[in-house]
Structure 1
Amino acid sequence: MLDTTPLLTAVERLADRLRTTPESRLRQGAAASGLALARELALRAQRLEFPGREPLEIPDAGMFAVADQLAVAGRDLALVVGTAPSGELDEAVALVEATEKQC
């Protein structure tokens, strides 16, 4: 079982950052970037957990919900990626870090 601490740490750091981001910055794209990342992490988790099943998409619940959606998607992925090839974990951490730089 892989240590998913780097993924959980990166996701929580970004989610906390989004929670404290001013509304104007969320509207300028930070919320959209966070939602896109949450959707990607959820997609990866579903593909690992339910191969062959069509993944569901995280709905847009508004810019103030993005941080929580990201946190949930990240935790879901961490639960399944712990048993996946290590490349999956590394890629997920890289995605979170890249999005954090954009936000």
Structure 2
Amino acid sequence: MLDTTPLITAVDRFADRLRAAPQSRLQRGAAAEALAAARELALRAQRIEAPDREPRTMPDAGAFAVGDQLAVAGRDLAVALETASSTELDEAVRFVMEAAERAFA
């Protein structure tokens, strides 16, 4: 079983930054970048958990909810990845860190 702590840590840091960000920062693109990341994490989790089912798209719940959406999607993926390869986990951590950099560039 893989230790998914690095993914959870990266997701939590990104989500915390979003929750603390002012509305103006969220509206300048941080929220859109985070929603795209949350949707991607959710899709990855769904593909692992139910590869034969069409993945559902995470809805846009607004700029102030995107931190929570990211945290939920990241934790769902972490659970799904516990039995996956370390390559998939490393890729997910890298993806989250790059998305956070883009959101707050």
Normalised by the length of structure 2, the TM-score is 0.96
2:10 equivalent in structure 1: 10
* Percentage identity across paired residues of the two chains: 67
Which runs of no fewer than 5 residues in structure 2 stay unpaired? none
Partner of 1:63: 63
- Counterpart code for 1:10: A
Shift of 1:19: 0.2
Distance 2:45 2:101 in 1: 23
Q: Deviations over 1:26-63 (max 9, x none)?
A: 00000000000000000000000001110001000000
* Partner SS, residue 63 of structure 1: coil
For the residues of structure 1 that align with 2:22 and 2:87, how far apart are their CA atoms? 34
Q: Which runs of 4+ in 1 moved over 6 A?
A: none
Offset of 1:86 from its aligned partner? 1.2
- Residue of structure 1 equivalent to 2:84: 84
The CA RMSD over aligned residues, in Å, is 0.5
What is the count of residue pairs matched by the alignment?
A: 103
